[in-house]
A and B are shown apart, each in its own frame.
Chain A
Amino acid sequence: MISYIIKRILLLIPVLLGVILLTFLIAQVTPGDPAAIALGPMATVQDIADLRSHLGLDDPLHIQFFRYLSRVVQGDLGLSIRGQTPVLTEILLRLPSTVKLTSLAMAMALVFGVGAGLIAAVTRRKSLEGVVMVTALIGISVPSFWMAILCIVVFGVNLGWVSVVGGEGFKNLILPAFTLSLAPGAFLARLTRSSMKEVIREDYIRTARAKGLSWFRITEVHALKNSMIPVVTVIGLQIAAMLGGTVFIESVFARPGLGRFAVNAIANRDFPQIQGVVLFLASAYAVLNLLVDILYTVLDPRISYNRKDSSK
C-alpha cells in the first residue's frame, strides 16, 4: 500500500510538468505581443524589439519553456501588467478567501448531499425519497449564480438576515458557501442514492442477511463503505466543479478570491495574472486529486493490491 502511495506521488511530477507546459503553450498561442502590451501604445518599434530580446522572447521555444519552468519552480510567476506586482503575491493574498469558501462548501456538499442520498436510498417511505430526489434534481438544474442572486435578494435585502457584501466573518461565508455547494451536493445526493441502491442488490449483502445481520448493521458496516467508492471517484471532479463555481459565486458576492481574480485578469487581458492563476489552480487541483486517490485506496483494498498475486 505504501509503495502505491509513493508511486502516485511520483506520478504527480509529470502531471505538474504537463500543467506547466500547457499553461506555457496557452501564453504562446495568445495573440498579441507581450512586449508591446507591456510598453503600451506609445512604444516605438525599437523599444519593443529591445524589450523582446531583453525578455528572451525571440529565443527558441524550448529554451523559453525551460526558462519559464525554472522560474515557476522557484515561485516566480511574473509581474502583473497593471500593478507590476508579483503575481504569486497577488494570488496568495486572495487564496485564503477562496480556501475558506470552498472548504465550507465542500463540507456542506458532502454532509448534506451524501446524507440526503443515503436517506433517500434506505428509507421505506417513498414520499421522503421523492422529496429528496426532486430537491436534488432542482439543485443540479438551477444556475448557481442565479440562486446566489435570489438568496441575496431574499435573505440579504428583504429579510436582512445576513449582510451581503464584504467582510470575512462566518456569517458572510454561509450564503456564498451554500450557493456554491448546491449543485455538487445535489449531484452527490443522486449518486449516493443510486450507488447505495446498487450495493444493496449485491450478493455479499445477501450473504450478510443470511448470517442474521440486521439491516441497520448491514447498512452501517457493509453497504456504506462499498457505496462510497463511486462517490469518492467523482469527488475529484466535484472539486474541479467547485473551483469553477467560485468564479461565479465570488463575482456575485464580491468576495476577494481567486475566482474573481481570474475573471478580472481575463477582462483586463493581464496575461501574467491569467497564466499565474491558471497554473496555480491547476496545480492545486492535481495535488487534491492525489489526496483523493490515496483516500480511495483506503476504502477499496482491491486497488492497491497487485493483481498478479491473487490467483492460486
Chain B
Amino acid sequence: MEDLLRISNLSTSFFTHEGEVKAVRGISLTLKQGEILGIVGESGSGKSVSMMSVMRLIPDPPGRITGGEVWFNGRNLLALSEREMEKIRGSEIAMIFQDPMTSLNPTLTIGFQIKEALKVHRRISEAEATRETIKLLKLVNIPNAVQRIRDYPHMFSGGMRQRVMIAMALTCSPKLLIADEPTTALDVTIQAQLIQLVKRLRKEFGMSVIWITHDLGVVARLATRVIVNYAGKIVESAPVETLYDSPRHPYTLGLLSSLPTMTGNRKKTLYAIPGQPPSLINLPPGCSFAPRCLYATPRCSETEPSLNQIAEEHYTACWETVKTKGVLKRIDE
C-alpha cells in the first residue's frame, strides 16, 4: 500500500507572554491508504495541534510551525503557498472538529454552507450543487434532506450538526479525513452512530481517516492503528490489537490500567496515573513522562528517548521497555 501521508519531525510552538509553548515537539508518522489511524492523548498532548499543523490552520500569531516536513501525495504541504494550500483543504484533505454547536455559521443555511464547499473547488452550477448537497445529506442519514437544506444550524440537534459537518467534508471525496474529537461533545449513543457512519463512508469513498480522541473506547472500536501522544511527542505507536493487548510504554500502561473493567477485582480503587502533565513552557529534561513514571531511572531524567521499534509495527519511546513486558496482565489481578 502507498504512503498517503508522511510527517517528518513536525514541531509547532505558540509564542505567548509567558514563553514558548512547545505544543508539538518533533512528531513523525506515516499513514497508508485506507488506514484508520487513531491518535490518543490527554488535552495538551499535541494531538490536535499536530493535525492543525498538517492543515496549516495554526493561528499565526501566536502559533508557528517551527520545523519538519509533511508529505502528502508527493508534495511537502509546509512548503506550499497559501493559495495552493487552500486548494487542498476541503478537497483532498478534509477536517471536522469537536464542537458541532459552534463549528457552523449560525447566520447561513446549511445548504448554503455545503454548496459553498462544493463551489469553492469545482465549477458547478447552482442546480447541480443543490442536487449534490441533497445526495450528501441523504448519505449521512439526515431525514427530509430536500426541506432541511434551507434550515439554519440551530434548527438541528448536535448529532445531526456533526453529520452535516461530515457531509460538508465529503463534498469533494477527500483522500484523507481528519476528525478532531468529533464525538466528544455528544451522547454515547450518538457517538456510536457517528462511528458506524464514518466506517461505512470510509469504505464507500476509499479514504483514510485520522481520528483524534482522548477516549480509548472509541479508538478500540474504530482504528486499525493507534498512536499515543504525551507532552507533544509520540510515545507509542502500534496496531490496535497490539496496543490493547500488550502496551509497552508506561504512559499507555497507565492509561489502560485506569479504565474501569467489567471483569477483575471490583473492590480495588480505580487506578490513576499520579502527578500532572508537564508544563509545555518549562519541560523537564529527559523523558517528559519520567516524573510520573513507576519505572524511571536516572537516565530517563537526563536523555530523552526516541521512538524505537520493539516488535513488528510496534514502536515506543522508552528506555525501560524490558520492565514493562506483560505488566498490563499483572495489574489486572
Contact = CB atoms under 8 A, between A and B. Distances in A.
Interface of A: 202-204, 206-214, 217, 221-222, 225-226, 229, 299-302, 305, 309-312
Closest 7 CB pairs of A and B: A212-B90, A212-B89, A211-B90, A203-B102, A204-B105, A210-B95, A312-B157
B57 A206 contact: yes
B107 A305 contact: no
A305 B157 CA distance: 15
A301 B151 CA distance: 10
| Residue of B57, B88, B91, B106 contacting most chain A CB atoms (<10 Å) | B106
Given A204-B105, A302-B154, A312-B160, A211 B99 contact: no
A209 B154 contact: no
Contacts of A210: 55, 57, 89-90, 94-97
A203 B152 contact: no
Nearest to A309: B155
Nearest to A200: B59
Nearest to B106: A302
Interface string B101-139: 011111110000000110011000000000000000000
B103 A206 contact: yes
B57 A204 contact: no
Interface string B141-161: 000000000001011110010
Contacts of A299: 107
Interface string B78-103: 00000100111111001111010011
B165 interface: yes
Nearest to B91: A212
Nearest to B101: A203
B154 A310 contact: yes
Interface size of B as a range = 20 to 34
A256 B215 CA distance: 72
Contacts of A225: 107-108
A59 to B, nearest CB: 54
A211 B155 contact: no
B168 interface: yes
A301 B152 contact: yes
Nearest to A210: B95
A305 B103 contact: no
| Residue of B55, B83, B105, B116 contacting most chain A CB atoms (<10 Å) | B105
Contacts of A214: 83, 86
20 contacts: A203-B102, A207-B97, A207-B105, A208-B105, A209-B57, A210-B97, A211-B116, A212-B88, A212-B91, A212-B117, A222-B108, A225-B107, A226-B105, A229-B107, A299-B107, A300-B107, A301-B107, A302-B154, A309-B155, A312-B156
Contacts of A310: 154-155
Contacts of A309: 155
Nearest to A215: B82
Nearest to A201: B59
B38 to A, nearest CB: 20
Interface of A is mostly: helix
B161 to A, nearest CB: 11
A212 B86 contact: yes
A200 to B, nearest CB: 9
Contacts of A204: 102-106
B152 to A, nearest CB: 5
A226 B97 contact: no
A216 to B, nearest CB: 11
A264 to B, nearest CB: 46
A106 to B, nearest CB: 24
Contact of B102 (A202, A211, A229, A302): A202
A302 B90 contact: no
A309 B83 CA distance: 41
Contacts of B57: 206, 209-210
Given A207-B165, A211-B116, A221-B108, 14 more contacts: A203-B99, A204-B103, A207-B105, A212-B89, A212-B91, A212-B121, A213-B86, A214-B86, A229-B107, A299-B107, A301-B107, A302-B152, A310-B154, A312-B160
B58 to A, nearest CB: 11
Given A206-B57, A222-B108, A211 B168 contact: yes
Contacts of B168: 207, 211
A302 B267 CA distance: 51
A212 B87 contact: yes
Contacts of A217: 120
A305 B152 contact: yes
A312 B154 CA distance: 11
A179 B155 CA distance: 45
Contacts of A300: 106-107
Contacts of B87: 212
Nearest to B178: A210
A185 to B, nearest CB: 25
A126 to B, nearest CB: 11
B128 to A, nearest CB: 18
Given A312-B156, A312-B157, A211 B120 contact: yes
A203 B108 contact: no
A59 B95 CA distance: 75
Contacts of A202: 102
Nearest to A203: B102
